[in-house]
Structure 1
């Protein structure tokens, strides 16, 4: 399957317009139409309706494959480029907000780092395609168990730290005096849904194997301070790693006692690592063992 045709198809489907796709891709509208016709002929099925422009059932199924296929091609190009390029003087690190704990921050050198705080699901693709040299991604896991990461490309994954998890409560909350809390007992509580700033509610459901954890408020952002402020003012509960949740004004961090899970951080990168990226990776992993 010609990746140029596939990329044209994905763009037309996303924009729902042949003319808009032509403008974005730098083709003529006639060339875009020819690309789509050639792809439909190759697959032996109509992929788009024309008025309105929308994927057919076969086209919808192709879209499910197209994203990972095109991403793999970009990752392959970036991997080859890494091998032939000279080691960069600086290094770029993509991380989730809750992966940037005290040990990680202490490991960062005084200069030469570009730090990008991103949503959790964007980081593997960012590293795979060369948008970042290293990635730090986190989540809930059983002790010593690896995180389940999307298979976007051949990436090396290494454990970069584990620590206990706490429920962050306003200090006036009825449960703030507890010595520990069971996650299953909080399924019906008011929760903050902040998948990009904190630990997603889907992780909580997976950890307990139960439904519930209905969000009282959703926060679409990556600012950890905003998430903490929402929890402090009683808009809902959230889970945070102990080092982040401890000693925050107006709040109490109550340890999670069951299920037996930890906040796990993993370092992801392509191979081989050289120069500043290799040095930073070594520092991050060594600090995780301190």
Structure 2
């Protein structure tokens, strides 16, 4: 499926297809999009005719092999269109308005919280991968993302649209341990020595296990004993202290957990890095927050 074909595709038809595939239902897609079911069926038929391939089986409603391939392209394409629209709207908007900040839970450190305006701000805690998209599409003015990185190395973010990132800060990372844990008396820990331990898989509340595997030299270690799909760091720390698995947190978060010991990671040399994400040149409250966090106007 070439880029030329996709470039000439009707985005309305593509959006209908993505919605049907996501919901596995023509009728549910019609209700979600505000169309009649007949219109949805016509959109899918027109798209299939345009591409010369069936995209969905009807009973059950699931993508064909060609449909799966189209889904791989459709998400980024539609996101780019939404980002382009948001960029134009952003240029025409009034310079002063309230501030919406999208942030990962562990990116909201003490410095970021202290820098927030006294009024007129909305903080949206999102999954890390959703933050660049929220900024690109205009549902957030700024984003705070975080992750594991080598000192001074930038984070690797999904390429969803032309975005600018600015380093906000770096701090050590620590393994959170119950006070009675055999390793709690250590002054430092090597990640490689913990690859066979029980870990909590909390991609939105903690630092993702995939990043730990990469930092620890790859391989198949750091297997999850329990998966937590929420974004509340307090729940994550409670699960860890109850013995369900280890978790890695920035020092400022781990050090404040009652009844826990935060043991720093000494090898490899990795840090918890936080970056500010923006689209275009921020104005108003967004520009002022950016100036405080990264020292730029």
Query: TM (normalized to structure 1)?
Result: 0.95
2:83 to 60, 75, 79: 75
**In structure 2, C-alpha distance between the alignment counterparts of 1:20 and 1:194, rounded to whole Å:** 31
Structure 2 partner of 1:282: 291
Structure 1 partner of 2:263: 254
Given that 1:190 and 1:216 are in contact with CA atoms closer than 8 Å, whether structure 2 keeps it comes out as yes
**In structure 2, C-alpha distance between the alignment counterparts of 1:198 and 1:24, rounded to whole Å:** 33
Report the number of matched residues.
Answer: 287
Matches for 1:1-290 after TM superposition, within 5 Å: 1-208=9-216, 209-286=218-295
Given that 1:139 and 1:264 are in contact with CA atoms closer than 8 Å, whether structure 2 keeps it comes out as yes
**In structure 1, C-alpha distance between the alignment counterparts of 2:227 and 2:295, rounded to whole Å:** 36
Deviates more, 1:15-24 or 1:146-155: 15-24
**In structure 1, C-alpha distance between the alignment counterparts of 2:67 and 2:50, rounded to whole Å:** 13
Given that 2:117 and 2:285 are in contact with CA atoms closer than 8 Å, whether structure 1 keeps it comes out as no
Query: TM (normalized to structure 2)?
Result: 0.93
- 1:230–1:50 Cα change, 3 Å: closer
Deviation at 1:247, TM superposition (A): 4.3
Deviation at 1:238, TM superposition (A): 0.8
Secondary structure at the counterpart of residue 111 of structure 1: coil
Given that 1:83 and 1:272 are in contact with CA atoms closer than 8 Å, whether structure 2 keeps it comes out as no
What 5-or-longer segments of structure 2 have no aligned partner?
1-8
What 5-or-longer segments of structure 1 have no aligned partner?
none
**In structure 1, C-alpha distance between the alignment counterparts of 2:59 and 2:259, rounded to whole Å:** 57
Please report the RMSD computed on the Cα atoms of aligned residues, expressed in angstroms.
Answer: 1.4
**In structure 2, C-alpha distance between the alignment counterparts of 1:20 and 1:106, rounded to whole Å:** 44
Q: Deviations over 1:35-93 (max 9, x none)?
A: 11211121111111223322111111001111111111111111110001102332111
